A = this chain, B = another copy of it.
């Protein structure tokens, strides 16, 4: 029986798909099963699992819309950051992987380079562009990290959890209780936009 050889791109695509569907990083056996292959065969294409995880993370970064190279920086960075949040929320397992892998892949480097290029073309000095990237990325990563750790997915669940906390410990945490009582339509997208505006406004200080 003839086999079409595994290509590393295929392995990564299916591994990402499996992670998206199952909500977590798949085991070597699961990845192999999905490809109609045994687990150990994967080791002919990747020296160890970490390299697969590196590839998966880079695969996710490749989905992020890069900022258009030489446009007005504020709107371009805003769209780019929103796309980043979209992608990271679509692949919730990815952000948890980030802190354990040191070596960025080509898509990751390309994105970094693109953002730096946009800033440099808009009057940011080298050091200012570095500060700007650090601040913007920190905000996006941190926001998504918090968004993913929320103990609810739908608005209905939010109500349940909120009143649960309120009943249990309402008087011990008065300001938290106040916040929960005042809750209005609290969409993550709106909250993200508010903080993003704050950061983008602040970047101005580092321009030439």
Contact = CB atoms under 8 A, between A and B. Distances in A.
Interface of A: 92, 95-96, 98-103, 109-110, 112-113, 116-117, 120, 126-127, 129-131, 134-135, 137-143, 145-146, 148-152, 165, 169, 172-176, 178-179, 182, 184, 186, 191, 194-195, 198-199, 201-203, 205
Nearest to A120: B175
Nearest to A141: B142
A139 B129 CA distance: 17
A203 B198 contact: yes
Secondary structure class of chain A's binding surface, majority of residues: helix
A25 B163 CA distance: 32
B127 A176 contact: no
B176 A109 contact: yes
9 contacts: A98-B145, A112-B173, A116-B178, A126-B178, A131-B195, A138-B139, A138-B142, A141-B145, A199-B202
